[in-house]
């Protein structure tokens, strides 16, 4: 009930309430007990007076005949109802007469009588007959009237004390509210700091101790904000100096080389092909010679504007200026879309042609980069094509190299994606959680779950990243192609849901080890998908290991509002957050200040370029920014011990890559025929640390 602890407000209310109730109860009990003692004394005095009075009245009638008169006098007094017992015993011990009032209903609750019992004493008086003692008269008062008086007193005391208690509670409530309201703002500010939101507290408490706490936290937040802003400004300035072309504001050749190497390394995980394009501003030399360099600069800016408009329409694409007259771009394209893109490029460049541009506005060439192909080889092929296009005045620039990929027709893709998604829609989407694991077993034939650990400097697992590979008839498909075709055919949501179901099904065999699941840009900002995702997690979370959700920087920046909503819902389910490819956009890093994230993975391009001093300084600055707001930083794609050593010296929190531990198929750790209830904790010895022994 109190897993998160008990608030100070509640503790104070409980303490004051318990003390007040204790004081209230004690006061009532003490008051009623005093009244009971008083009534016992009154009953004693009343009985003693009656005994003396009746004894004197009976003294003249102690002979045998007079006893009748004495008894009559006694009956007259007893019948008043104020006496419980009256008896007369002669000197020989013979009881001459006795009157007893039977027990009756006192009109008072039995529990009250049991708790506050009255004990009327039996009072005696000697009755004399002249000079001799004739006998002993015993008188005991009746407690009925006293019980009623005691009950009435108890009720009135309870009411008065209760009113006093309620008034005291009301005063205490307003006093505590005035004192603790500033404390609530302090708690909210502290929670915001925990969630990486650094805002100042404008409340100034009247209580001096609380005011000191507010001032201290505000100063801490101000220092964090100042440090964050300074470090962020430094990182952005360094990024512009090293990776941005000052004339066009586009990334430069060095940024292109880093990106090229990073995407090549990604092939090991997803098998994604990508395309490299080269654009030559063919009239630059002529314009410079005839019009001057100012006109040449304007020509380059015009080219950058035209090309940027085209690049914005391409999936996962970036434009670079790599030399005075040349631009390049990298894009993850499918085989089907590349021809459309090539035609659009050609048309846009043709529209810009005119008499002013003697050699044409620009020429482009576009080629697919094969696995392990170097940047130099790809650029040579594009240069040759550009020369050919200039000579032959060709419009299109697509270069078709020897391909190691198998292309599929549209009909084949429909068949493949139907197999990937139809089973989910028909069998799993509405199944009972108890049958979830059994229903997901057929997914083993079309999906593989791949794992790779992220380790800290002590060689312990921080978490294990998971991702899915698609397979059909023994062929491993490009992840990019699968998702691109699924989007084009309108089954992207069903495909992502099927993938998540498969991952959850496989992760039910893992316990304790934290596992990261990649969430795509489309999925994270799709409210229908996210509702389904968190609902499914709530149904299955007891069978799953601790989770992280991982998404890239471009997905986070697409809509910060929906990103914050996604993160908030994840945190409510105790799921950590990782942002990967951090720094890939070469833009401001301020967006992370208000996101409650746990890890960031720097873009792999910085990892491959870490031998350069300015890159190391840049990464160190990013590390300080993240550590300053409580975020751990991870270096991915560490392909050698030398690269790992650089990051170890820079206080990076985690490392990941084939140079440490290769990607591993979960089926080699947990066979597909493992009983449903069997679970294990992942250890580093479950993963191969050899680059050549990746398990499939």
User: What is the structure's pLDDT at 527?
Assistant: 92
Q: Is pLDDT above 80 for 529?
A: yes
| Maximum average pLDDT range among 110-114, 298-302, 621-625 | 298-302
Q: Is pLDDT above 60 for 566?
A: yes
Mean pLDDT for 231-257 is: 83
User: What is the structure's pLDDT at 696?
Assistant: 36
**pTM across the whole model:** 0.67
In this prediction, residue 423 has a pLDDT band, given cuts at 50, 70 and 90, of confident
**Is-contact 228 199, C-beta < 8 A?**
no
Mean pLDDT for 620-647 is: 86
In this prediction, residue 270 has a pLDDT band, given cuts at 50, 70 and 90, of low
DSSP assignment string, 417-461: HHHHHHHIIIIITT--GGGHHHHHGGGGGTEEEEEEEEE-TTS-E
Mean pLDDT computed over every residue of the chain = 82
Cα 306 to Cα 278, 312, 507, 534, distances in angstroms: 14, 10, 47, 42
User: What is the structure's pLDDT at 401?
Assistant: 56
Q: Is pLDDT above 80 for 654?
A: yes
Task: Name the burial class of residue 487, with classes exposed (0-12), middle (13-18) and buried (19+) by CB atoms within 10 angstroms of its CB.
Answer: middle
DSSP assignment string, 27-46: HHHHHHHHHHHHHHHHHHHH
Q: Is pLDDT above 90 for 538?
A: yes
**Is-contact 395 346, C-beta < 8 A?**
yes
Structure tokens at 97: 């007469």
Pure H helices in 283-398:
284-291, 293-311, 335-351, 375-392
What sign for the dihedral angle of Cα 68, 71, 73, 76? negative
User: What is the structure's pLDDT at 658?
Assistant: 85
Q: Is pLDDT above 90 for 176?
A: no
Instruction: Tally Cβ neighbours within 10 Å of residue 174.
Output: 10
User: What is the structure's pLDDT at 106?
Assistant: 66
**Closest by Cα among 495, 496, 592, 506 to 547:** 506
Pure H helices in 276-318:
284-291, 293-311
**Is-contact 622 582, C-beta < 8 A?**
yes
Domains and CATH numbers, the chain: 8-165 (3.30.450), 244-399 (3.30.70.270), 452-468+496-691 (3.20.20.450)
Cα 252 to Cα 105, 258, 276, 354, 598, distances in angstroms: 103, 10, 15, 28, 31
Q: Is pLDDT above 80 for 555?
A: yes
What are the tens digits of pLDDT across the range 57-94? 888 887 777 788 888 888 888 888 788 888 988 888 88
User: What is the structure's pLDDT at 498?
Assistant: 92
Query: How distant is the alpha carbon of residue 608 from its chain centre?
Result: 33
Q: Is pLDDT above 80 for 316?
A: no
Mean pLDDT for 425-448 is: 86
Helix (H), strand (E) at residue 168: helix 144-194
Residue 576, classed as helix, strand or coil, is strand
Q: Which residues pair with 447 in a beta bridge?
A: 470
Angle between helical axes of 479-488 and 410-423 (0-180°, round to 10) = 90
User: Residues with Cβ < 8 Å from 65, sequence gap 6 or more?
Assistant: none
In this prediction, residue 374 has a pLDDT band, given cuts at 50, 70 and 90, of confident
User: Residues with Cβ < 8 Å from 444, sequence gap 6 or more?
Assistant: 667, 672
Residue 15, classed as helix, strand or coil, is helix
In this prediction, residue 3 has a pLDDT band, given cuts at 50, 70 and 90, of low
Mean pLDDT for 309-318 is: 80
**Is-contact 553 581, C-beta < 8 A?**
yes
User: What is the structure's pLDDT at 528?
Assistant: 92
User: What is the structure's pLDDT at 150?
Assistant: 87
Comparison of pLDDT for 7 and 116, the residue scoring more: 116
Comparison of pLDDT for 675 and 278, the residue scoring more: 278
Task: Name the burial class of residue 511, with classes exposed (0-12), middle (13-18) and buried (19+) by CB atoms within 10 angstroms of its CB.
Answer: middle
């Amino acid at each position: 009930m109190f897993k998160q602890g008990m608030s100070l407000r509640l503790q104070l209310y409980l303490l004051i309430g318990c003390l007040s109730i204790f004081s209230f109860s004690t006061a009532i009990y003490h008051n009623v007990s005093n009244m009971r003692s008083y009534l016992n004394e009154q009953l004693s005095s009343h009985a003693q007076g009656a005994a003396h009075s009746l004894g004197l009245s009976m003294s003249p009638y102690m002979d045998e005949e007079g006893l009748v008169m004495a008894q009559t006098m006694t009956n007259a007094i007893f019948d008043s109802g104020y006496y419980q017992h009256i008896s007369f015993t002669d000197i020989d011990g013979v009881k001459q007469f006795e009157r007893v009032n039977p027990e009756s209903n006192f009109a008072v609750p039995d529990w009250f009588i049991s708790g506050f019992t009255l004990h009327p004493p039996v009072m005696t008086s000697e009755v004399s007959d002249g000079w001799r003692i004739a006998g002993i008269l015993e008188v005991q008062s009746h407690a009925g009237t006293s019980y009623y008086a005691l009950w009435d007193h108890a009720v009135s005391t309870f009411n008065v004390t209760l009113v006093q208690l309620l008034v005291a509670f009301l005063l205490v409530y307003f006093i505590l509210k005035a004192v603790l309201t500033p404390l609530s703002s302090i708690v909210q500010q502290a929670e915001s700091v925990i969630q990486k939101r650094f805002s100042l507290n404008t409340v100034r408490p009247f209580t001096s101790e609380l005011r000191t706490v507010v001032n201290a936290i505000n100063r801490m937040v101000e220092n964090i904000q100042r440090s964050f802003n300074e470090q962020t400004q430094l990182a952005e300035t360094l990024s512009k100096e090293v990776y941005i072309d000052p004339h066009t504001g586009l990334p430069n050749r060095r940024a292109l080389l880093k990106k090229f190497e990073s995407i090549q390394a990604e092939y090991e995980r997803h098998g994604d092909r990508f395309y490299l394009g080269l654009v030559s501003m063919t009239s630059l030399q002529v314009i410079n010679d005839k019009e001057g360099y100012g006109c040449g600069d304007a020509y380059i800016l015009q080219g950058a504007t035209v090309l940027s408009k085209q690049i914005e329409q391409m999936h996962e694409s970036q434009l670079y200026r790599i030399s005075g007259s040349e631009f390049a771009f990298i894009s993850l394209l499918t085989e089907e879309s590349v021809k459309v893109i090539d035609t659009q490029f050609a048309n846009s460049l043709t529209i810009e042609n005119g008499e002013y541009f003697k050699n044409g506005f620009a020429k482009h060439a576009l080629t697919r980069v094969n696995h392990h192909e170097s940047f130099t080889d790809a650029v040579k092929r594009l240069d040759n094509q550009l020369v050919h296009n200039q000579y032959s005045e060709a419009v299109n620039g697509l270069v078709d190299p020897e391909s190691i990929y198998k292309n599929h027709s549209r009909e084949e893709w429909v068949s493949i994606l139907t197999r990937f998604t139809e089973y989910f829609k028909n069998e799993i989407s509405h199944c009972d959680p108890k049958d979830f694991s059994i229903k997901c077993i057929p997914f083993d034939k079309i999906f593989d779950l791949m794992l790779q650990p992220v380790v800290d400097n002590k060689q312990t697992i921080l978490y294990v990243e998971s991702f899915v590979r698609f397979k059909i008839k023994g062929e491993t498909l490009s992840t990019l192609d699968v998702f691109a075709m699924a989007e084009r055919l309108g089954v992207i949501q069903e495909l992502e849901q099927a993938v998540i179901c498969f991952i959850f099904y496989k992760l039910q065999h893992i316990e304790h080890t934290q596992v990261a699941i990649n969430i795509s840009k489309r999925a994270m900002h799709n409210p229908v998908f996210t509702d389904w995702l968190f609902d499914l997690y709530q149904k299955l979370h007891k069978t799953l290991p601790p989770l992280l959700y991982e998404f890239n920087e471009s997905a986070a920046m697409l809509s910060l509002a929906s990103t914050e909503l996604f993160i908030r819902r994840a945190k409510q389910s105790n799921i950590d957050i990782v942002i990967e490819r951090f720094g890939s956009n070469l833009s401001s890093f301020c967006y992370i200040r208000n996101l409650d994230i746990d890890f960031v993975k720097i873009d792999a391009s910085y990892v491959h370029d870490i031998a350069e001093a300015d890159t190391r300084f840049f990464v160190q600055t990013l590390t300080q920014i993240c550590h300053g707001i409580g975020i751990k930083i991870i270096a991915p794609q560490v392909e050698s011990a030398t690269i790992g050593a650089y990051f170890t010296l820079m206080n990076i929190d985690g490392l990941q890559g084939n140079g440490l531990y290769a990607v591993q198929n979960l089926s080699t750790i947990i066979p597909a025929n493992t009983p449903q209830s069997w679970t294990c904790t992942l250890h580093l010895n479950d993963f191969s640390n050899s680059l050549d022994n990746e398990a499939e």
